[in-house]
Amino acid sequence: MTRAISLRDVSKIYPRNVVAVDRLSLDIEPGEFVVLLGPSGCGKSTVLRMIAGLEEITSGELLLDGVAANDLAPGERELAMVFQQYALYPNMTSRQNIAFPLRMEQRLDDHDQRVREAARLLDIEQLLDRYPAQLSGGERQRVAMGRAIVRRPTAFLLDEPLSNLDAKLRTRLRAEIATLTRHLGVTTVYVTHDQSEAMSLGDRVAVMRDGVLQQVGTARDVYGLPDNVFVAAFVGTPRINLLSATVHAPLDGRMSIDFGTQRMLLPQPLSPDHQMLRLQMGREITVGLRSEAARIASPGAMRPTEALLNGVVQHVEYQGHESLVHVSTGARPARVDGLEAARGPARTRTRRAARAAAGLGQGALGRLRRRARSSVATLERPAEPAPPPAPASPIPSGRIADGLVLRAGADVQLRIGERVPLLLDLGQLYVFDSEGRRICPAPVGTPRLEG
Ligand SMILES: Nc1ncnc2c1ncn2[C@@H]1O[C@H](COP(=O)(O)OP(=O)(O)OP(=O)(O)O)[C@@H](O)[C@H]1O
């Protein structure tokens, strides 16, 4: 059996009005694998913990298979959670650790067969009689997964399960997790701040920032059509190049994008998307260009779908299969706040707003009492240390390096300081307005301007 999970306008406000999750709505289909992605402190774990029932929902509704579940005890939700810390009992063997939830539930059926079945799926049969101290990190995480699947849960909630592992093992285990959850057909919600993990794992990726859901879509959607500049910058390696610019649209001449030190002429006739840029005249815009969206080639080779910028080579990174060329264009790099936020400052609401959102006086006390009574048998884990307090420093800004980073062939021959023409593929040119919203390519449903 597998579960549909729906969050409707869900908020979480911690004491002192810390808004960890702000009116988040998300529908997860039965059997779907959804990744919650975002920088540290954006509220991903809080969402997962609210689904699990480990954290009370301040306002909004959680539905499991369409049935209101806010007040269900964790044990009644039939979900299994796996944490970043392996959380195995050190004095129990793998076999005992995996069987633990069954013992807690006092199931009378054959524990041993269920444990062997889980161990076989995870390829850890030979490790069943070892203690956690005798296992590697990857093996411990497999045992932790075993403990999650032994109960045959209706959904998995995985909170950065691989972040304690080295890069190679992480890549291998994430492929295993994808295969395993597909095989079991169980709904999975997976939390990570690692965008490449998110892109490779999920049916859909939900990008969060500062407690707010930014975009939900397939990996292809969030990479190819980011709704805003934050999503564009958070997803993709190397990070998208972001430049501050303005639109120059004289009545008697060709429209161009003005980067301050040089202008990029747009081809005539203007595409419908580029016509929309007229509306931005006089306003600051951000131009986004992924590293594969420009090539270094002579202007004579320019295609009708390309535009020209000039640059100077600053640095060439040889990567084996390709080179990353850093090119200065004199343009001003745009800044995006919160990209690397390491536990940013809590956003706070006024006391009144918080109270309204909290729905205090609407049975909050009752829910707390019920929770106090509830058993946490299915989501049990050894005591964890309290989360570290948030540092008082502001969210560091993700500073985009001065200069574009472009992909080139591995054997590209360039000198540092060499002037190079850059041919930009306009089909891959993103423009964001001063609020950070994508305006080009125009979002679906945007009314068109007449040429
Ligand atoms: N028990 C708590 N009390 C007060 N604030 C909390 C508590 N737990 C989390 N927070 C705050 O809520 C916000 C979201 O935290 P959360 O752990 O959900 O973020 P996250 O995106 O999962 O981060 P990470 O990737 O670092 O685990 C942060 O500002 C955090 O400091």
Q: What is the ipTM of this complex?
A: 0.98
Q: What are phi and psi of 132, to 5 degrees?
A: -50, -40
Alpha helix segments (H runs only) across 202-308: 219-224, 229-234, 272-275
Nearest CA to ligand 1 atom 31: 390
Q: Quote the number of domains for the chain.
A: 2
> How far apart are the CA of 83 and the centre of ligand 1, in A?
14
- Domain-embedded: residue 444: no
In angstroms, the CA 49 to CA 383 distance is: 15
User: Based on the domain organization, do 83 and 221 belong to the same domain?
Assistant: yes
Whole-angstrom distance, CA of residue 263 vs CA of residue 192: 39
Cα–Cα distance, 74 to 377 (Å, whole number): 8
Q: Using the 3D structure, point to which of 208, 233, 258 is the last residue of a domain.
A: 233
Report the candidate in 75, 67, 59 with the shortest Cα–Cα distance to residue 20: 59
Determine whether the shortest distance from the Cβ of 41 to ligand 1 is under 6 A. yes
User: Domain residues for 309?
Assistant: 239-336+402-432
Q: Does 371 contact ligand 1 (Cβ within 6 A)?
A: no
Give 331-399 as a DSSP string. Answer: PEEPEEETTT-SSPPPPB--HHHHHHHHTTTSSHHHHHHHHHHS--GGG-----PPPPPPPSSPPPEEE
User: Which residue minimizes the CA distance to atom 6 of ligand 1?
Assistant: 14
Domain boundary residue, one of 233, 257, 279: 233
In a domain, 426, yes or no: yes
Regarding whether 260 and 214 lie in a shared domain, the answer is no
The finding on whether 342 has its CB within 6 A of some atom of ligand 1 is no
**Could you write out the DSSP letters of every residue in 175-206?**
HHHHHHHHHHT-EEEEEES-HHHHHHH-SEEE
Q: In this structure, is the dihedral angle defined by the CA atoms of residues 92, 93, 99 and 101, taken in order, positive or negative?
A: positive
Q: How far is the CA of 49 from the centre of ligand 1 (A)?
A: 11
Residue 365 resides in a domain: no
Say if 394 falls within a structural domain. no
| CATH assignment of the domain containing 267 | 2.40.50.140
- Dihedrals phi, psi of 78, to nearest 5 degrees: 55, 40
270 and 322 inside one domain: yes
Q: Are residues 219 and 280 in the same domain?
A: no
> 22 and 79 share a domain?
yes
pTM equals: 0.83
User: Ligand 1: does its nearest atom lie under 6 Å from the Cβ of 347?
Assistant: no
Q: Distance, CA 6 to ligand 1 centroid (Å)? A: 21
Q: What is the DSSP letter of 64?
A: E
In tens digits, what is the pLDDT along the chain, a chain of 451 residues? 789 999 999 999 999 999 999 999 999 999 999 999 999 999 999 999 999 999 999 999 999 999 999 999 998 898 988 877 667 899 999 999 999 888 877 665 677 888 988 888 888 899 999 999 999 888 888 898 888 888 888 899 999 888 777 787 788 888 888 888 888 889 999 999 999 999 998 899 999 999 999 999 999 999 999 999 999 999 999 999 999 999 998 888 889 999 998 999 998 888 888 888 988 988 999 999 999 999 999 999 999 999 999 999 999 999 999 999 999 999 999 988 877 654 344 455 544 444 443 333 333 333 333 333 333 323 334 333 334 333 333 223 333 356 899 999 988 899 999 999 999 999 999 999 999 999 999 887 776 655 4
Which residues neighbour 236 within 8 Å (Cβ) at sequence distance 6 or greater? 195, 223, 290
Domain C-terminal end among 217, 233, 249: 233
Asked whether residue 288 falls in the same domain as residue 324, the answer is yes
Ligand 1 center to residue 43 CA distance, Å? Answer: 6
For residue 414, is it within any domain? yes
207/300 same-domain check: no
Per-residue tokens: 350: 């006024």
Report yes or no on 218 lying in a domain: yes
Q: Are residues 40 and 160 in the same domain?
A: yes
User: Residue 38: CB within 6 Å of ligand 1?
Assistant: yes
Q: Measuring from atom 30 of ligand 1, which residue has the nearest CA?
A: 41
Do 27 and 168 lie in one domain? The reply is: yes
Residue 345 domain-assigned?
no
Q: Is 54 in the pocket of ligand 1 (CB under 6 A)?
A: no
Shortest-distance atom of ligand 1 to CA 36:
21
Tokens of 59: 């306002």
Say if ligand 1 is within 6 A of residue 44 CB.
Answer: yes
What CA–CA distance (Å, rounded) separates 310 from 342? Answer: 36
HSE, CB side, 13 Å, CA atoms: give it for residue 243.
Answer: 29
- Residues 251, 309 share a domain: yes
Note whether 322 and 209 are same-domain residues.
no
Q: Which atom of ligand 1 is nearest to the CA of 193?
A: 25
On whether residue 388 sits in a domain, the answer given is no
Same domain, 175 and 283: no
User: Among 16, 18, 40, 189, which is best to mutate for testing ligand 1, by the most ligand atoms less than 8 A from CB?
Assistant: 18
CATH code, 134: 3.40.50.300
Cβ atoms within 10 Å of 402's Cβ, excluding its own = 13
Nearest CA to ligand 1 atom 24: 40
Judge if the beta carbon of residue 343 lies within 6 A of ligand 1.
Answer: yes
